[in-house]
Amino acid sequence: MSIAESTAAVLKNIENAAIAAGKDPKDIYLVVASKMNDAERVQEAIKAGVPICGENRVQEMLEKNSQGAYNGAKLHFIGHLQKNKVRQVVGLAELIHSVDSLPLISAINKEAEKKFIVQDILLEVNIGNEESKSGFSPEEIPGILSEICQFSAVRVRGLMAIPPVCRISRENRPYFERMKQLFVDNSEKKYDNVYMDFLSMGMSGDYQEAIACGANMVRVGSAIFGARIYK
Ligand SMILES: *Cc1c(COP(=O)(O)O)cnc(C)c1O
C-alpha cells in the first residue's frame, strides 16, 4: 500500500471507531508519528489528509522542519523531552504530549514566558506503572494539576499515555479504561490553566480500541508509513 492509501485506511478506521463510540469523527484527532520518515514521506501523508505530525526526537524535528516536512499540518512533540532541549521545542510544537515532571513543566514555563507565548502540554501518565517508562503515576495527577496555577505560560490540555506493549490489542483495554477514568475524574475539579480537552492514547496496533475506550487523540506511525527500519 502507498502512504496515501494507508492514510486513507487509517482515517476511515478512525471514522468508524468514532461512530461506533457515539462520537463525531471530527472530534478525534490523528497525530501521525513520523519518526524515521523523511520530509518527502511526511509530505505524502499530509497531502493524503494527515492533520498533525508528531515527532519524538528534537534534532530530527528541527532538521525535517527546516526541510518543510510539516508544511500543511500542525506539529506536536510526542517524545521524551529533556530540559536542555526545551528551548528548541517550546513555540515550535503546538502541543507537547509527553511532559513527565514538575521541573520540566517549570522549564517549559520559563521558556514560554521568554517567548511571550502560552505553551500547551499534556501530562504523561505511566499507566502500566512500568520501571522503564517515564510519566506521573495516576495518584500524582491531582496534585500536579493543582500546581499548574503557578505556571501562567503553560496550559495543560489533557493526558497522554503509552500503555505496556501487549500482544493482542484487546489486552490494552484495562489500561485505556483506567486512563479514561482518570481523565474524567480530573476533569471534574476546575484548576487554573488546566483544560481537560485531549486524551492522547492508542498507536498503530490499538488505536481503534483506544477510541472505543475514550481516546480523542491517537498517535499512529507504522500503520501509515509501514514498519520502521532501525539501522
Ligand atoms: C512511534 C510512536 C508512536 C507510534 O507508534 P506505531 O506503533 O508505529 O504506531 C506513538 N507514540 C509515540 C510516543 C511514539 O514514539
- Give distance in angstroms: CA of 55 to centre of ligand 1: 9
Residue 169 cell numbers, joined: 490489542
**What pLDDT, on a 0 to 100 scale, did the predictor assign at position 154?**
98
pLDDT (0 to 100) of residue 229: 72
Q: What is the pLDDT of residues 165-218, one digit of tens each?
A: 877 777 899 999 999 999 999 999 899 999 999 999 999 999 999 999 999 999
Give the pLDDT band (50/70/90) at residue 157: very high
Q: How many angstroms is it from 195 CA to the middle of ligand 1? A: 24
Across the chain, mean pLDDT equals 96
Rounded distance from Cα 160 to ligand 1 centre (Å): 12
* pTM, full prediction: 0.96
What's the pLDDT score for residue 150? 96
Atom of ligand 1 nearest to the CA of 222: 8
Residue 121 CB–ligand 1 contact under 6 Å: no
Output the pLDDT for position 231.
60
| Under 8 Å between Cβ of 172 and 210 | yes
Instruction: Note the pLDDT of residue 18.
Output: 98
Q: Is the CB of 221 under 6 A from ligand 1?
A: yes
pLDDT tier, 228 (very low <50, low <70, confident <90, very high otherwise): confident
In ligand 1, the atom with minimum distance to the C-alpha of 97 is: 13
Task: Indicate which residue's Cα is closest to atom 7 of ligand 1.
Answer: 204
What digits encode the pLDDT tens for the residues 106-150? 999 999 999 999 999 999 999 999 999 999 999 999 999 999 999
Contact of 83 with 103, CB cutoff 8 Å: yes
Q: Is the pLDDT of residue 102 over 70?
A: yes
pLDDT for 205 equals: 93
- CB-ligand 1 contact for 33 (6 Å cutoff): yes
> What is the residue-wise DSSP string for 38-74?
-HHHHHHHHHTT--EEEE--HHHHHHHHHTTTTTTSE
CB of residue 56 inside a 6 A radius of ligand 1:
yes
Of 73-87, 155-169, 214-228, the least confident: 155-169
Specify the ligand 1 atom closest to the Cα of 31: 10
3-state secondary structure of 162: coil
